[in-house]
Amino acid sequence: MKKHVYGISENLKAKRELKDKLKETELMIKIDFAENYMIKYGKEIQSIRFGASKGQLSIHTGVFHVKNDTSLETTSFATVSDNLYHQAHAVWGHLTSSL
């Protein structure tokens, strides 16, 4: 457990240092994507209830950090898609709609 806690604290320390040294020409993006979510309806016919026809969505969330003058502006964002891929090109597709 000590290794895990140490890793978390070092990660947070490194992230804080990056934000503190951010230049006005730079953008720091922290992204994550949730697991795929199954779509549910208020009223469902029997074939949908058992999962055969249920659609899924992927939610990508993130935070932008931008330095303006002396302050650090933080903006969060989220995109929703029926594209369930989490490879680099899919993540880039989500990011381009937020940039």
Q: Which of 38, 28, 32, 29 is nearest to 91 (CA)?
A: 32
Whole-Å CA distances, 21 to 7, 66, 72, 73, 75:
21, 11, 11, 14, 18
pLDDT at residue 1, as a whole number: 81
pLDDT in tens, 35-78: 788 777 766 666 655 656 677 888 888 899 999 888 889 999 98
pLDDT at residue 52, as a whole number: 61
Q: Where residue 94 falls among pLDDT bands split at 50, 70, 90?
A: confident
Q: How far apart are CA 85 and CA 10, in angstroms?
A: 30
pLDDT at residue 45, as a whole number: 64
Whole-Å CA distances, 25 to 64, 66, 68, 70:
13, 8, 9, 13
Whole-Å CA distances, 9 to 2, 21, 61:
11, 18, 22
pLDDT in tens, 4-38: 888 889 989 998 999 989 998 889 998 887 678 87
Domain residue extents for the chain: 24-98
